[in-house]
Structure 1
């Protein structure tokens, strides 16, 4: 494991993702103190694990490059995907409650993360209120996201689930400066199905339906959203029914 750790000085102040994972409006001295905390980067190869279910929780991780999935093993030995995380997002919050991680975090492509020791973040949060507020915001966003997934799984048809998933993904990528309509799926159809509570065949069939209706174009993992409004209508028709 130590071979994965590189003690490179990471300057949050110079990082292009700073606006996404650090609070805005810190002065130079406060930023320097955060820079001092985030002293280590860790590389994770595609298919490698950043942390495992049951492992002691010591740090949060800011994803610098790459894409992760979080998953838990079900009682019958299947992997249940609980989320997908991308560059600029913080991963590892699941460990705060019981000081142990409650899921596995697996890299879906070669990735690099900044290691943020949680004790140090807590110490600094007490002095820098902007950081404390930011950590709370990140946690809150995670709760809202999970709530959204529960709604998704509780009441939506397959088309609505996939439409909501694609819209959410493209919106998060757009916040990172990527296209509003084109994306490369880093996860397999099977992993999407696991996350959305759908069988693999249903995911494939729903993608095909969207293609037939001229809503998306799909070439293997490349997806181009041709008609964003149509996707929004599919999701909103569900909400209108309630």
Structure 2
């Protein structure tokens, strides 16, 4: 059975304690000691609930805070000059929204909840001041920014050169790896995003996404029930992501 705890967990009531959070070993304050964690928790605004479709941040608005996903998931989107929406990333628990706005102090993208979700808000002025006193926190912040840059570079390469099948296989494997990093099953998870969102992210038409999903199911690479996806043949998906279109 698929483990849904990554999506359904809610924050505890009462005083916020990072040490009591199941995501603490994967989150921004990774590596902080007990006393440092208390100081970090003190700057966090109370976890904020969002409903599916609700905006966390809007493109073009001033940047004031980073947001750590505590439960649920989000899509990061940019609207171009033709008012077309493009999905640039999906955020899972422990990942940070708003990093792309640090330099210009303006949000370059909007962040939208894909399901009922909670975030921990980190006012950036408080975070900067604390990171000046806690080198481990400053290092963690730099690490998050570096990971964001690496992810963007990897996506650019994927969309520039990969076949449609390779893009889809790579997407499923990336979701699998990110769930595994958080201690959840790499073989079964929910895809809270729509197929249209997946297509926008991968640079594929909705019809192509549906066709690829059906093809992968016929080849018994995956099984889909509603929004739940099971990866039945991980080695075959890995080969497909490396080799491209190898129909059989």
TM bin, normalised by shorter chain, reads: over 0.9
Moved over 3 A (4+): 22-25
Indicate yes or no: 2:147 matched with 1:137.
no
TM-score by length of 2: 0.90
- Pick from 80, 89, 97 the counterpart of residue 91 of structure 1: 97
**CA–CA distance in 1 between the matches of 2:190 and 2:136?**
34
Cα drift, residue 41 of structure 1: 1.8
TM-score by length of 1: 0.92
**Any idea what the Cα deviations from partners look like across 1:105-141, whole Å, max 9, x if unmatched?**
0000011100101111111111111101100000000
The secondary structure found in structure 1 opposite 2:216 is: helix
**Any idea what the Cα deviations from partners look like across 1:68-95, whole Å, max 9, x if unmatched?**
0010112222210010001111111111
- Pick from 57, 63, 68 the counterpart of residue 57 of structure 1: 63
- Pick from 194, 202, 206 the counterpart of residue 196 of structure 1: 202
**CA–CA distance in 1 between the matches of 2:226 and 2:32?**
43
User: Does structure 2 retain, via aligned residues, the 8 Å contact 1:163–1:235?
Assistant: yes
For residue 114 of structure 2, what is the aligned residue in structure 1?
A: 108
Cα drift, residue 11 of structure 1: 1.3
For residue 186 of structure 1, what is the aligned residue in structure 2?
A: 192
Cα drift, residue 22 of structure 1: 3.2
Stretches of structure 2 that go unaligned for 5 or more consecutive residues are 1-12
Cα drift, residue 231 of structure 1: 0.6
Q: CA RMSD in A?
A: 1.4
Indicate yes or no: 2:172 matched with 1:166.
yes
Indicate yes or no: 2:46 matched with 1:18.
no
More RCO (CA 8 Å, sep 6+): 2
User: Does structure 2 retain, via aligned residues, the 8 Å contact 1:17–1:64?
Assistant: yes
Cα 1:38–1:8 change in 2 (3 A) is: farther
User: Does structure 2 retain, via aligned residues, the 8 Å contact 1:8–1:39?
Assistant: no
The secondary structure found in structure 2 opposite 1:171 is: helix
